[in-house]
Chains A and B, each alone.
Chain A
Amino acid sequence: MTDMPISTAPKRSLFAADARTVRRNRAERRFRAYGMAAVGVGILALIVLLVSILGNGLSSFRQTYVSFPIELTAERVDPDGNRDPGEMARVTTFGYLPLLAAAFEAHLDAEGIETDMGVRELAAMLSEEAPAQIRGMVLANPDLVGQTIDAQILMGGRIDGFFKGRVTMESAERDSNVTPAQLELAQILADRGAVETRFNWDFITAPDASGSRPEAAGLGVAIIGSFYMMLVVLVLALPIGVAASIYLEEFAPKNRLTDLIEVNISNLAAVPSIVFGILGLAVFINFMEFNQSSPLVGGLVLTLMTLPTIIIATRASLRAVPPSIRQAALGLGASKTQSIFHHVLPLAAPGILTGTIIGLAQALGETAPLLLIGMVAFVREYPDLMSVHSNSFPLMGDGATALPVQVYSWTQRSDPAFVERASGAIIVLLVFLLCMNLIAILLRRRFERRW
């Protein structure tokens, strides 16, 4: 061993870490784990959210029907006997109810199913909407009168819930709307194949139904209302947004006014959406006296909300077009306007489109401002593109509702079956949003250019 100066420093090995290093490394790993955990929590939240919505809502796409023959006796549905739909329309749905109940009872007798329930209780197993459906069928096709049709009849919300597992024998005992006996009968019918739970197109196409018949409630009116509003937003927000962006990005001199506009736009993007609802209520409904809850007013409010998003996206994509393009155009003798409209704008178009679709997706999911302009009203009629009044704008007359607002109105109803419906509506909404975002992503992938 050679002589070495005795070191005062503690003995260290490169292979065994000292306590401090161990501590620091542990802190390092811990910190990293926190980061991973945070990302994990975020993704977990997304999964829980989606699972919860899907779990609650998927069943609304399936609906329970019972099929039995119904004899449409002429004296019941066509007392005048002339097969004129106008005359037959005088028989209201209350006139069809006994017909339906009697047919149901007769079917049970014919099948040899014994029950000690009265006609009233039996009829309560069917949806309250069922007579209206039969009536609609008869009025659409008067030749059916006198025939015996084999119809699929919508079952009541609770019976439907029973087949989806939402209603059980125990819960039925506490429920005034359904009895265990009815559930047992439904089970017997199901065992014989008369009851079927199948895909429910009506959920997507039918209009809303009143609070006591969740089984018949559909999204048709809401989807059309949302579609009209998106149309208004697209027609107004895209041209105005693009025009404003072109001015601000390409023409505007640097002065106080344009500064003000820019600050304004970035602030408008962050104004709470409900404030736009208040604006819509005060300006469009109270001041200009447009009809409450018309798709036009909804579209206008959403347009004002979406504009900042579109302007910000458009300006970003205009800025991304390199100045050399403009200079080349100017060099060849184009005017400034020509250089922008012929060269810059087409090159920026994919970005503008992507921004617009994202803005539209935002507007599609927006609820709060629409509540304030009266969209919560119960609407059963499909909105008409042209309203009755000749002196008004298209889309101004009839009331409408929108998808997210429909979700809100369903959550406000007492029947628990509407929770299922609301979640189902959310699924439809999310599918629309997913499609729009996919289109936006594909557009970007396909056309985006990097200079």
Chain B
Amino acid sequence: MLWILITLLALGALGFVLGRQRAVASAGGDTRVLHSLPVYYGTNVTLLTLVPALLVLGVWLMAQPIVIDRMVSAQLPDSYVAEAASRDLLMTEIRRLADGIDTAVERGAFNGLDALNLSVGDDIRRQLADAGVALGADVSPEVLQAAQSFREMSGAGRTWMTVAVFALALAGLAYAYLRTTKDLRARNRVEHMILGVLMLASTLAILTTVGIVLSMLWDTRNFFQLYPWQDFFFGLEWRPSFEGNSELGLIPLLWGTLYISLIALLVAVPIGLFAAIFMAEYATRRVRSVAKPLIEVLAGIPTIVYGLFALITVGPMLRDYFAAPLGLGNSSSSVMTAGIVMGIMLIPFVSSLSDDIINAVPQSLRDGSYGLGATQSETVKQVVLPAALPGIVGAVLLAASRAIGETMIVVLGAGAAARLDLNPFEAMTTVTVKIVGQLTGDTDFSSPEALVAFALGLTLFVITLGLNIFALYIVRKYREQYE
């Protein structure tokens, strides 16, 4: 793989030198006669050599495993597939065997010819184990045959890929080289290609979104084929079990998520807002230059740190000083723990957004208020805040969307028990905790217990996206008012 890339790059470099030389030569050594600077002629050849070849290489690398999988899978006799647990598992086994043989050949355990003539009688599992490759089960003749044709096709595919990529690169090189004359508008061509690359890069954002939506939609659809959607959206119980008959209701998870987010906002909004007012209206330059960065440090701390803080400090403290004496429970992970720590995390988020918004309120409004005899706090309460209100609401909504999508704090601080309860000192769980729970470890992606995570993810995505769009809309609309 790597040597293909290196050779391609070398070809590109060669193209640069050749193209430049040819252009200069066609101008008789006088670069002033050229249409473009000599560099552009070289770059033109390099780009034509590399770009198509690299594109083909990338597409081929992605498509080849999928195509070969299909073909090998089609070769398997249906009767054999019916005996095995599932086609997917069988394919995994085949791939592992094929990989194992390749590795063994590479490590010199047996040579390429032996590898082709392996038969079931040879006790392949032991032979591979000697070569340092562990197989899960003994090899059946069908699997061996499929694995061999898998290897054969992969090898052929790789050969053809190399041929195609180099043919393309050489063709590009030759074409561009032959076209190079002193009158070639090399700069315009290069600039067009650069523009194309820039455009391609900017569409990646859209591709990511499309990827997110499609991947989740696809698996959510699979989930709803196995599990009725009414039970998912309106179910009051969350009780996954691996024997089947799981109850996968969204409501308790959503309740936990919203409850924790509410507590987080109750902590973050007053503190963040007052901090922003203080910084924007009262603080001297010096206080501001110290306090603002300190608070913003809170925003730069990774959430796993807050999670650990909740787990080892806040949780036990709340349990020992509040929950246990009040008789409200004795669990150190609780809604309160996660909510308070998440609130701390959101303080800088609310405060810096609100700070910007309060600063955007025109000074003339304040001056008018002072002129009428209002004190500073009266001005803030009756003039500045009402004027900034839409923006602040937007900031709070953005904070809420953060809180809903937050993962590590709730994974470590909120607990794993799904329940509908009002007691904030009880452990509850959230959508994100369950996504992590259902998708970590060994998962079988054909069971509703694993697929439900995609439905949860989609729900989360839709909720946060809605909040974000609404918040950005409000903030943007408000900004226009005073500009």
Contacts and interface: CB of A to CB of B under 8 A. Distances in A.
A106 B435 CA distance: 55
Contact of B302 (A31, A289, A390, A404): A404
Interface of A: 24-25, 27-28, 30-32, 34-39, 41-43, 45-46, 48-49, 52-53, 56, 239-241, 243-244, 246-248, 251-252, 260-261, 264-268, 270-279, 281-283, 286-289, 304, 307-308, 311, 335-337, 361, 364-368, 371-372, 374, 376, 386, 388-394, 404, 407-408, 411, 419, 422-423, 426, 429-430, 433, 437
A361 B297 CA distance: 13
B334 interface: no
Interface stretch (B140-148, B237-245, B376-384): B376-384
B405 A39 contact: no
Contacts of A56: 312
A304 B210 CA distance: 12
A155 B53 CA distance: 58
Contacts of B1: 390-394
A435 to B, nearest CB: 13
B195 A251 contact: yes
Nearest to A250: B198
Given A393-B1, A408-B304, A337 B435 contact: no
B363 interface: no
A43 B215 CA distance: 42
Given A36-B282, A251-B195, A376-B441, 13 more contacts: A34-B274, A49-B301, A52-B309, A56-B312, A265-B205, A272-B464, A279-B208, A282-B215, A282-B216, A366-B302, A367-B302, A390-B106, A426-B308
Contacts, number: 278
Contact of A270 (B66, B303, B347, B464): B464
A281 to B, nearest CB: 6
Contact of A426 (B305, B402, B405): B305
Given A261-B202, A275-B457, A337 B194 contact: yes
B102 interface: yes
B248 interface: no
A332 to B, nearest CB: 14
B106 to A, nearest CB: 7
Contact of B205 (A34, A277, A311, A364): A311
Contacts of A335: 187, 191
A220 B29 CA distance: 57
Contacts of B270: 38
A423 B348 contact: no
A278 B457 contact: yes
Task: Name which of A35, A247, A374 has the most chain B CB atoms within 10 A of its CB.
Answer: A35
Contacts of B381: 31
B156 interface: no
A281 B408 CA distance: 18
A282 B65 contact: no
13 contacts: A31-B381, A45-B344, A53-B305, A240-B204, A243-B202, A267-B469, A272-B464, A274-B460, A283-B215, A366-B302, A372-B435, A392-B1, A437-B300
Contacts of B2: 386, 394
Interface string B185-211: 001000100110111111111101101
B216 A42 contact: no
Contacts of B212: 271, 275-276, 278-279
B298 interface: yes
B274 A275 contact: no
B468 interface: yes
A42 B347 contact: yes
Nearest to A366: B302
Nearest to A363: B302
A365 B460 contact: no
Contacts of A48: 313
A62 to B, nearest CB: 19
B218 A282 contact: yes
The 8 A-B residue pairs with the shortest CB-CB distance, nearest first, are A272-B405, A365-B302, A35-B278, A282-B215, A38-B274, A243-B201, A31-B377, A368-B407
